C-alpha cells in the first residue's frame, strides 16, 4: 500500500492514521496546499468523494457523522476553501455532530506575513469548533489526528479543525500504529438511577424530551422499552424525529419550530420534565419560554454526556452525566410500580400528536397540492427511507406530517442551514447504499448547493431530489408579510428550468405541474438507475399548511377604526 520504508511523509501519515482509526470515506475539494495527502489517498482504501464547493463538502462530512456516529472527515484548502467550509462546520457545532475538518496551510516558514491565502484558524473557527490546532511537525501527525478523533467523539460530540502546513506534510516520520484512543463513557451511579426512577414513578404528568447526537438503533429501542415500562410520553427535540416511532402509543410529538400548542402546554403543565441527551436551546424551548431560566417551574432531570452543559441554562433537580446507551442499559432492570396512574396522560399526549399530524383537507391555490405530495410519498417510499432536508417553509410538510418510524431515517440540520438537503442526502446514500434516500428542498435552499448534483453523479449516489419550487424565499416572505404586509422586498426569485439542469447532468428528471404528474414521476425515480430530480411547481400562495400569503397579509393589516 505504501512504499516499504521506515519513514512516511506527513501526508502519508495523515492518511495512514485515518485508516488506522477506521475512516472509510472522506469528502474533499482538492487544493495545492495538501497535495501530499491527495497523493497518499491514491494508494489508500479510503474513498475520496470529490465535491464541487467546500460548503457542500463540509455538509456531506457532517451528514456522514450523523448517519454513522463516526467523525465525518472533510479536506479543504486554505483561505477561501476553509471559509467556504464554515457553513458545514457550523452545522456540526450546533448539531453536536462528530467531524474533523482538515485545512491545508501555508509553509510554516512564512507564517504571520499575510502570505497567500493565510488565515489564523484559531481565530476564525475558535467559537465554532471544540478544538482548533495546527500540526507543527510530521512526528506529531499521528498524535494530533488521534487526539482530534477522540475530542470529536467524546462528551458533547462536535467538530474539530486540524491545520496542515505544507512543510509538515512534506516532512518524514515513522508511523507507530498507536492504539486508537477510547473516549471514557460516563454512567449514572446507583443512587442517581434510584432517584431518577423514583421521581418518574411519583409523577402524574411527566414528559421525556429526547434529542442530541450519539444515539443508535439499539438505544432508541431501549428508550421505547423504558417509556413502556414506566408509562411515559416521549417527545423529541427539533429535527430529531427519528429517535422515536411516531405511531408508537407513547410518542408525544416534536418540540421544534411550529410546535403543536397542545404539546407546548403539556410541557408547561408537566410535574417532571426529562431532558434526555437534549440541551433545550432556543428553538425547542420556544425562545426559552417552556422552562424558566435558571429555575424551571417543573421538576427537571437533565441527562447529558458532557458536564459543561449541566447548569448552563437550567438548574436541574437531578443532573446525570451519561450517554443514551450507558444510561438506558443501566435502567433495563428498573420497573415502575405506579405506571397505571399515567395511562390517561400518555394517551392524551399521543392522541394530540395524531390529530396534529393529520394532513390538512383544505384546498390550496394552484394545481399541485402539498398534502397530496406528502401522502403519495408516504404511500410509495419504504418505511426505512431516509429523508434529508435543509431549511425553508417547505420543510414544515415533512416535520409536521411525515411519520418517522425508524432510527436513521432523518438527516436535517438543527442549525437551520439552507442548502443542506442535497449534500446531506448524498452522504446519507453513500453511508446507506441499500436504502432509498430522498432530498426535500425548496428552490432557494436547493440553489445554494445545487452544483453538488455533479458529486451525486460522480459518486453514483442515486438519490431522489424532490424540489418544491414557489419562486420565492418562502420563510422570509412569510415573516415579511406578518411584519410588513404587502411590502415585498428581496424575496422574489427568477429560477431556471430545474428539470433541464438535471438533464444536463444526464440524470432522470420530471416536472410536476399537477397532482397526477407526481405519482408517475416518483414511481419512475424509484426505479431509475441514476440520481433523480422531480421539479414540483407550487403556487407561492401555499406558504404554510395553515395560511396562504393573502391570509397572512390580511391578518397582519392594521385594524381600521372609524373616527
- List of domains in the chain: 8-173 (3.40.50.970), 190-356 (3.40.50.1220), 370-555 (3.40.50.970)
Question: What is the pLDDT confidence band of residue 3, given thresholds at 50, 70 and 90?
Answer: very low
Element (H, E) at 299: strand 299-304
- β-strand pairing of 8-9 with 25-28: unpaired
pLDDT for 349 beyond 80:
yes
Question: Do residues 420 and 389 make contact, with C-beta atoms less than 8 angstroms apart?
Answer: yes
Cell of 67: 448517519
Report the Cα–Cα distance between both ends of the chain, in Å, rounded.
87
CB atoms closer than 10 angstroms to residue 202: 14
Question: Do residues 461 and 422 make contact, with C-beta atoms less than 8 angstroms apart?
Answer: no
Residues 6+ apart with CB under 8 A from 344: none
Cα 332 to chain centroid distance, Å, stands at 29
pLDDT for 5 beyond 80:
no
Q: What is the pLDDT of residue 359?
A: 96
pTM of the model: 0.95
Mean pLDDT across 42-50: 97
Q: What is the pLDDT of residue 559?
A: 72
Question: In this predicted model, what pLDDT tens digit does every residue of 293-321 receive, in sequence order?
Answer: 999 999 999 999 999 999 999 999 999 99
pLDDT for 188 beyond 70:
yes
Mean pLDDT across 475-479: 93
Q: Count Cβ atoms within 10 A of the Cβ of residue 350 and give its class: 0-12 exposed, 13-18 middle, 19 or more buried.
A: buried
Q: How far apart are CA 427 and CA 51, in angstroms?
A: 11
Q: How many residues does the chain have?
A: 563
Cell of 545: 399548511
Mean pLDDT across 40-65: 98
Nearest one of 397, 448, 441 to 536, comparing CA atoms: 441
pLDDT for 4 beyond 60:
no
Question: In this predicted model, what pLDDT tens digit does every residue of 121-150 receive, in sequence order?
Answer: 999 999 999 999 999 999 999 999 999 999
Laid out side by side, the sheet with 410-411 consists of 410-411, 386-389, 437-442, 464-469, 532-537, 508-512
Mean pLDDT across 423-429: 98
Element (H, E) at 434: none
Averaged pLDDT score across all residues of the chain: 94
Q: How big is the CA angle at 195 (ends 274 and 351), to the nearest 5 degrees?
A: 35
pLDDT for 560 beyond 70:
no
Q: What is the pLDDT of residue 186?
A: 77
Question: What is the pLDDT confidence band of residue 1, given thresholds at 50, 70 and 90?
Answer: very low
pLDDT for 241 beyond 80:
yes
Residues 6+ apart with CB under 8 A from 331: 193, 196, 197, 222, 226
Which long-range contacts link 147-151 to residues 24+ away (Cβ below 8 Å)? 147/181, 148/100, 149/21, 149/71, 149/100, 149/180, 149/181, 150/181, 150/183
Mean pLDDT across 496-507: 94
Least confident range of 92-101, 111-120, 253-262, 353-362: 111-120
Amino acid at each position: 500500500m505504501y512504499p516499504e520504508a521506515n519513514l512516511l511523509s506527513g501526508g502519508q501519515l495523515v492518511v495512514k492514521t485515518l485508516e488506522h482509526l477506521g475512516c472509510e470515506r472522506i469528502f474533499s475539494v482538492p487544493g495545492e496546499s495538501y497535495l501530499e495527502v491527495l497523493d497518499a489517498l491514491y494508494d489508500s482504501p479510503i474513498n475520496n468523494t470529490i465535491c464541487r464547493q467546500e460548503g457542500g463538502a463540509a455538509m456531506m462530512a457532517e451528514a456522514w457523522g450523523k448517519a454513522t456516529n463516526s467523525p465525518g472527515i472533510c479536506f479543504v484548502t486554505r483561505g477561501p476553501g476553509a471559509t467556504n467550509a464554515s457553513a458545514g462546520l457550523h452545522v456540526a457545532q450546533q448539531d453536536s455532530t462528530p467531524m474533523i475538518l482538515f485545512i491545508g496551510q501555508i509553509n510554516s516558514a512564512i507564517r504571520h506575513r499575510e502570505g497567500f491565502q493565510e488565515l489564523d484558524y484559531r481565530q476564525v473557527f475558535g467559537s465554532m469548533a471544540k478544538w482548533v490546532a495546527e500540526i507543527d511537525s510530521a512526528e506529531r501527525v499521528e498524535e494530533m489526528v488521534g487526539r482530534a478523533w477522540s475530542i470529536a467523539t467524546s462528551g458533547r460530540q462536535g467538530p474539530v479543525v486540524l491545520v496542515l502546513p505544507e512543510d509538515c506534510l512534506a516532512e518524514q516520520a515513522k508511523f507507530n500504529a498507536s492504539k486508537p484512543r477510547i473516549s471514557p463513557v460516563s454512567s449514572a451511579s446507583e443512587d442517581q438511577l434510584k432517584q431518577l426512577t423514583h421521581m418518574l414513578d411519583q409523577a402524574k404528568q411527566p414528559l421525556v424530551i429526547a434529542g442530541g447526537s450519539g444515539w443508535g438503533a439499539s438505544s432508541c429501542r431501549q428508550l421505547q422499552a423504558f417509556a413502556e415500562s414506566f408509562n411515559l410520553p416521549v417527545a423529541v427535540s427539533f429535527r430529531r424525529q427519528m429517535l422515536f416511532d411516531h405511531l408508537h402509543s407513547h410518542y408525544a410529538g416534536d418540540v421544534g419550530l411550529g410546535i403543536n400548542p397542545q404539546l407546548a402546554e403539556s410541557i408547561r403543565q408537566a410535574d417532571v420534565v426529562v431532558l434526555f441527551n437534549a440541551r433545550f436551546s432556543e428553538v425547542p424551548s420556544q425562545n426559552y419560554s417552556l422552562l424558566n431560566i435558571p429555575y424551571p417551574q417543573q421538576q427537571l432531570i437533565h441527562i447529558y454526556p458532557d458536564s459543561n452543559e449541566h447548569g448552563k441554562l437550567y438548574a436541574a433537580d437531578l443532573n446525570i452525566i451519561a450517554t443514551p446507551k450507558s444510561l438506558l442499559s443501566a435502567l433495563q432492570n428498573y420497573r415502575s410500580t405506579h405506571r397505571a396512574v399515567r395511562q390517561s396522560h400518555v394517551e392524551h399526549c399521543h392522541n394530540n400528536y395524531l390529530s396534529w399530524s393529520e394532513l390538512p383537507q383544505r384546498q390550496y391555490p394552484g394545481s399541485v397540492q402539498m398534502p397530496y405530495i406528502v401522502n403519495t410519498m408516504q404511500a410509495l417510499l419504504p418505511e426505512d427511507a431516509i429523508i434529508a432536508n435543509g431549511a425553508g417553509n417547505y420543510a414544515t410538510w415533512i416535520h409536521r406530517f411525515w411519520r418517522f418510524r425508524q432510527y436513521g431515517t432523518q438527516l436535517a440540520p438543527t442549525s437551520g442551514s439552507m442548502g443542506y438537503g442535497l449534500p446531506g442526502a448524498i452522504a446519507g446514500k453513500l453511508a446507506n447504499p441499500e436504502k432509498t434516500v430522498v432530498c426535500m428542498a425548496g428552490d432557494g435552499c436547493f440553489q445554494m448547493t445545487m452544483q453538488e448534483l455533479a458529486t451525486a453523479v460522480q459518486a453514483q449516489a442515486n438519490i431522489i431530489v424532490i424540489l418544491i419550487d414557489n419562486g420565492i424565499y418562502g420563510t422570509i416572505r412569510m415573516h415579511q408579510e406578518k411584519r410588513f404586509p404587502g411590502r415585498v422586498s428581496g424575496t422574489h426569485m427568477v429560477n431556471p428550468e430545474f428539470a433541464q439542469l438535471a438533464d444536463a447532468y444526464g440524470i432522470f428528471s420530471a416536472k410536476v405541474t399537477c397532482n397526477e404528474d407526481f405519482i408517475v414521476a416518483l414511481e419512475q425515480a424509484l426505479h431509475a438507475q441514476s440520481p433523480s430530480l422531480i421539479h414540483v411547481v407550487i403556487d407561492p400562495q401555499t406558504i404554510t399548511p395553515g395560511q396562504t400569503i393573502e391570509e397572512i397579509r390580511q391578518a397582519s393589516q392594521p385594524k381600521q377604526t372609524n373616527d
